[in-house]
């Protein structure tokens, strides 16, 4: 199977930046943020090769890949994977429902 192109939404890019900046400020070090970012990148590369590995949601074509305490929310299209958001799973799940339904 051919690898699909990865497209990051503006929301997903901002989520990623916010998460990484939070950990830099909290830990006073970039080490954990760099490790977490590598995990995000590895997970997305895996999705490009195997888009069906994520857990399906109630929204058609939208799936979730778990990376530590975070959920990578993505949509499968014919030629690409759209990364919709990176969600901290420790937040209120009702907010997540709104994000999935609006995208």
**Angle in degrees, CA 53, 13, 58, rounded to 5:** 40
Half-sphere exposure of residue 51, counting CA atoms within 13 Å on the CB side? 19
What is the pTM assigned to this prediction? Answer: 0.89
* More reliable by pLDDT, 103 or 84: 84
User: Which of 69, 70, 74 minimizes the C-alpha distance to 51?
Assistant: 74
Confidence band for 1, pLDDT divided at 50, 70 and 90: low
* More reliable by pLDDT, 95 or 43: 43
| Domains with residue ranges and CATH for the chain | 5-102 (3.30.2310.20)
Confidence band for 103, pLDDT divided at 50, 70 and 90: low
Spell out the alpha helix ranges (H) of 7-88.
Answer: 10-27, 31-49
């Amino acid at each position: 199977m051919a690898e699909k192109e990865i497209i990051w939404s503006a929301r997903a890019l901002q989520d990623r930046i916010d998460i990484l900046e939070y950990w830099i400020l909290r830990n006073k070090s970039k080490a954990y943020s760099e490790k977490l970012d590598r995990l995000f990148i590895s997970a997305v590369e895996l999705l490009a090769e195997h888009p069906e590995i994520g857990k399906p949601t109630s929204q058609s074509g939208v799936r979730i890949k778990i990376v530590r305490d975070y959920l990578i929310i993505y949509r499968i299209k014919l030629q690409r994977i759209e990364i919709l958001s990176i969600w901290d799973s420790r937040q209120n799940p009702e907010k997540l429902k709104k994000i999935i339904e609006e995208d």
